[in-house]
Amino acid sequence: MAPPSATLRRQLASLLVVRCSGHGRDGQRRYPRWELRNAELRRLLEQGVGGVILLGGSAEELRLRCEQLQGWAGQPLLLCADVEEGVGQRFEGASWLVPPLALGRLHGTDPQRAERLAERYGRCTGRQARLLGLNWVLGPVCDVNNNPANPVINVRAWGDTVPAAAALASAFVRGCQGEGVLACAKHFPGHGDTSTDSHLALPVIPHGRERLAAVELPPFQAAIAAGVASVMTAHLQLPALDPERPATLSEPVLTGLLRRQLGFEGLVVTDALVMEAISTAYGPAEAAELAFRAGADVILMPADAEAALDGLERAVQAGRISPERLQASLERRRRALAQCQAPAQAPAPPGDTPMAALLAQLEQLVSPQEQQLGAELLALSLEHSGGATLPPGPGVNLIRLDSQLNSPQLPARAPALLRPAAAGYGARLLDGHSPSPWSGDPGAPLALERLGDGPVLLQLLVRGNPFRGSAGGDEPWPAVVQQLLACGRLAALAVYGSPYLWQALRPLLPPQLPAAYSPGQMPEAQALVLQRLGLEANALEGGFTD
C-alpha cells in the first residue's frame, strides 16, 4: 500500500538531485539554464528534495554554500560535484590535478606506481571534498577510452586499456571513500567507444555481449569489488542489451546487468536527465519514471523537478512503481549517507568567532603532501622533444582554446599569455568567438595574413569536453603544423590536454624544434611546459611556479 500523498511526495523528492551554483547569489550563476535560483532551490529543499550538485565558486564559498543548503533542508543531503580532476577543477583554491588519463599512460610502464598515485589522487579529492562540505564525488570515470575520437570522455578516463582503467579507477575509489566521501563509477555500462557526445545526441554502442564483457564492464566490476558506493548510468543505446531504450531507462541494463549479473547493491544514479540524449525524446516526468522503473535510485538533474516528481507520484499511485521498490531505493540512500563522514568542525580558539575558526581551517585545505602530489603528477606526465628554445620575438602566440568565456585555464595572468608576451610574442586567440582563422585551403588551412608577422608559438589547449562535440580531431592541426614549417614560421609547439593530438603532431616536427605536452591545461601545467620551451617565470604571473 502506498504511503499518504504528502509522505509519498516527500519520499520521492528525497531521491532527486537538482543543480545550483557554488556562488551564493542568483546573479553569480554561470549557467542559469541549469542552476536554480535560490528561492526555487530553497522551496524544493524544504519540500524534501534530497540532493544538490554544485559547480563554481571558491573553496570558501562552497563550504558556506553547503552549510546553507543543509540549513534549508529538513534532512541530510547528498551534496555532490563533478570533481574528476580534483576539487580545484570546479572550485578555486583546492587542488586541480592532471586528468586521470595521464595515470593511465603511466600504468603501461609502471603499474604499481600508477596505482599508488591513483589512490593518493582519490584521497586528495575525498579529503578536500569533505572539508568543503561535499559528501559525494561523481567519479571515477570507469569508461575505457579506446576511441581517440571520443568527444566527451577522452582524458577524463583512467585508461584507454582495460587493465589501466580497472586498476586505477578502483584505486581511486579506495582512496576517495577512505576519506569518508562517496565515490561514483560512471558511465555504466561504458561510454568510452563512441564518437558522439551524449550531452548533444544519443550515442549507439553496437557491440555484443562478449565484447562488453571483455572491454566495457571490467572497470565497473573492479570498482564494485573495491566497494564503490554508487554507479552512474550512461545515456547511450546498446541494441545487444535493449533495442528500445537508452541504458539510463533500460531495465535489462540497470536491473538485469548491473544489479543481478554484476551484483551491485549500492546507489544507482542517472546521468543528468537534462542532457539532450534523453530530453529530446522523453519529457521530464516520463524520463524520471522510466529511469526509476529501470532500476535507478536517484534522479539527477531532471529538466523540471516538479514535473519529475509528478510523474513519479503518479507511477506509484497507479501501481507501476511498487511501494517495496520505493522503499528499497530509500534504504539504499540511507545506507549511502551512513557511510559519509561530516566535515570536521574546528573549535574556535578563545576570543575567536566560529567564522575565524573555519577560515583558519580552510587555510590548510591543500596539505603539503597534496601540493607534492600535484607537482609529481605534472612532472611525470610531461613529454617534450627538441633541443632548441623559443627564439626571441617579435612573434605570434597562437592559442587554441575551447572558449575564452568562463575559462579557468586561461586567466589574465596565465603563463600561456604572460611568458610569451615577455619574449615578444603577441597573443592571438582562436576560441570559437574570434574571427575564423581558416583559409579554406586544406593544404594551407591557416590564413597567415591574419596572424601578423614573425615566428609562431602554437599552443593547443584541446581535449574532449562535454558539449564541445569533438576532441579536436575535426580541426586540421597536422596540416597547420606542416604549413607553418613549410614557410619557416613554426618556432615551438605546446599541446595541453589530448594525448592523441600530441601523438599525431610530434612525428611531423623537426628534431630540434622545441615542443612539449602536458595532459593538464591548468596554469601550473602551462608553467612547466613553457619552462621546457625556454620561457621562464614572469613576475606578473599569479603565483604559478615551474
- Cβ atoms within 10 A of the Cβ of 277, count? 25
Among 282, 278, 169, 261, residue whose Cα is nearest residue 213: 261
Q: Following CA atoms 227, 74, 322, 290 in sequence, which dihedral angle do they give, to the nearest 10 degrees? A: -70
- The x, y and z cell numbers of residue 475, run together, are 580541426
153 backbone dihedrals φ, ψ, rounded to 5°: -90, -75
Pull the grid cell for residue 275: 542532457
CA dist 181 to 93, 143, 516, Å?
19, 21, 36
271 is catalytic: yes
Out of 82, 160, 193, 271, the active site residue is 271
Name 425's bridge partners: 395
Give the list of residues 6+ apart from residue 170 with CB closer than 8 angstroms, or none.
Answer: 219, 222, 223, 225, 226, 228
Edge-first strand listing for the sheet containing 299-300: 136-137, 78-81, 51-55, 16-21, 299-300
Catalytic residue among 160, 199, 242, 402: 199
Calpha distance 275→237 (Å, rounded): 14
Reduced to 3 states (helix: H, G, I; strand: E, B; else coil), residue 400 is strand
Three cell numbers written together for 200: 548533444
Grid cell at residue 464: 574532449
199: annotated active-site residue: yes
Q: How far apart are CA 269 and CA 301, in angstroms?
A: 10
Residues known to be catalytic: 199, 271
